[in-house]
């Protein structure tokens, strides 16, 4: 399975995963259609599936145009069927979604939105976390509770340590600054943050990040309990 990281809008990432033999592809969270179409055409792919982590416009904005052009099927969480544009296939928590050579486990991870899900391609050890877990940060709590977000992050924390994390935005620099300001003696964080800055200087994405790095460096994953997590989340909202 090959993967292309596709920058969209200001700071979003969409991801195209594809099977090199079959030329069959899935896109995760197409913010807009145009940059996705370019990569699909360049690689001579058939865009079979559109996977949405949640209903926010910067994650589903390309749904309709891509579906129309490629006759793709749109996959999203069952409870969001009325707010994910043109959804075809409804998935639920802990279900395995499998088509062709694509196989992902669905986790319902509410907090950012009530219907947020992650797609875990467990054989490839890749997880698409949308706006729940970012590199060195986590999503804002819009519809859920602190406790839901805390539990959602803890669920991801239990995956194999070498899992690659693909998130919805390039927020790593701002997130890293916040971690550095509030976790001053963390040497692993210092090291990770300097690598992050080098990548950005070279115009490279800081994604994917590895779960092990996040457990050691991401202040939100390091929070010991719900209370300290909630305080950090409030602090970050006003940072
Ligand atoms: Zn969002
Ligand atoms: Fe977003």
Supply the pLDDT for residue 178: 98
Cα 84 to Cα 77: distance, rounded to the nearest angstrom: 9
Taking the centre of ligand 2 as the mean of its atom positions, its distance from the CA of residue 131, in whole angstroms, is 6
**Please, what are the domains in the chain?**
2-170 (3.60.15.10)
187: CA distance to ligand 1 center in Å?
Answer: 31
Contact in structure between 133 and 167 (CB atoms under 8 Å): yes
Q: Tokens standing for 7?
A: 């920058």
Ligand nearest the Cα atom of residue 140: 1
H-helix or E-strand spanning residue 44: none
Among residues 118, 96, 99, 7, the alpha carbon closest in space to that of 48 is found at 99
Question: Catalytic amino acids?
Answer: 54, 56, 58-59, 112, 131, 169
Q: What residues of the chain score a pLDDT lower than 50?
A: none
> For residue 126, what pLDDT is reported?
98
Q: Do residues 126 and 211 make contact, with C-beta atoms less than 8 angstroms apart? A: no
In percent, the amount of the chain with pLDDT more than 90 equals: 100
Q: What is the Å distance from ligand 2's center to 30 Cα?
A: 11
Query: Residue 43, by phi and psi: left (phi above 0), alpha (psi -120 to 50) or beta?
Result: alpha
Q: Judge contact between 159 and 120, C-beta under 8 A.
A: yes
Ligand located closest to 11 CA:
2
Residues 6+ apart with CB under 8 A from 96: 103, 104, 105, 106
**pLDDT for the residue 20:** 93
Q: According to the model, what pLDDT value does residue 55 have? A: 98
Report the alpha-carbon distance of residue 84 to residue 56 in Å, rounded. Answer: 8
Which pLDDT tens digit goes with each residue over 151-187?
Answer: 999 999 999 999 999 999 999 999 999 999 999 999 9
Give me the count of residues in the chain. Answer: 239
Q: What is the pLDDT, as a whole number, of residue 189?
A: 98
- Ligand 2 centroid from CA 61, angstroms: 11
Closest ligand by atom to 56 CA: 1
Tell me the pLDDT of the chain averaged across its residues: 98
């Amino acid at each position: 399975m090959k993967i292309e990281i596709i920058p969209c809008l200001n700071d979003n990432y969409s991801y195209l995963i594809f099977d090199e033999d079959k030329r069959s592809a899935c896109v995760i969270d197409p913010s807009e259609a145009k940059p996705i179409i370019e990569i699909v055409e360049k690689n001579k792919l058939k865009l079979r599936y559109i996977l949405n982590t949640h209903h926010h416009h910067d994650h589903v904005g390309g749904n309709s145009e891509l579906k129309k052009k490629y006759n793709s099927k749109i996959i999203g969480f069952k409870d969001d069927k009325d707010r994910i544009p043109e959804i075809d296939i409804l998935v639920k928590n802990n279900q395995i979604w499998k088509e062709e050579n694509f196989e992902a486990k669905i986790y319902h991870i509410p907090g950012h939105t009530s219907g947020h899900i992650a797609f875990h391609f467990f054989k490839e050890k890749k997880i698409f976390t949308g706006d729940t877990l970012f590199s060195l940060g986590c999503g804002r709590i819009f519809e859920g509770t602190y406790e839901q977000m805390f539990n959602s992050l803890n669920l991801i924390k239990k995956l194999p340590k070498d899992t690659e994390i693909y998130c919805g935005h390039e927020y790593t620099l701002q997130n890293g600054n916040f971690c550095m300001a509030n976790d001053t003696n963390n040497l692993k964080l210092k090291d990770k943050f300097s690598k992050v800055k080098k990548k950005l200087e070279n115009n490279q994405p800081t994604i994917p990040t590895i779960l092990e790095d996040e457990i050691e460096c991401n202040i939100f994953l390091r929070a010991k309990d719900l209370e300290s997590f909630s305080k950090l989340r409030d602090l970050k909202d006003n940072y």
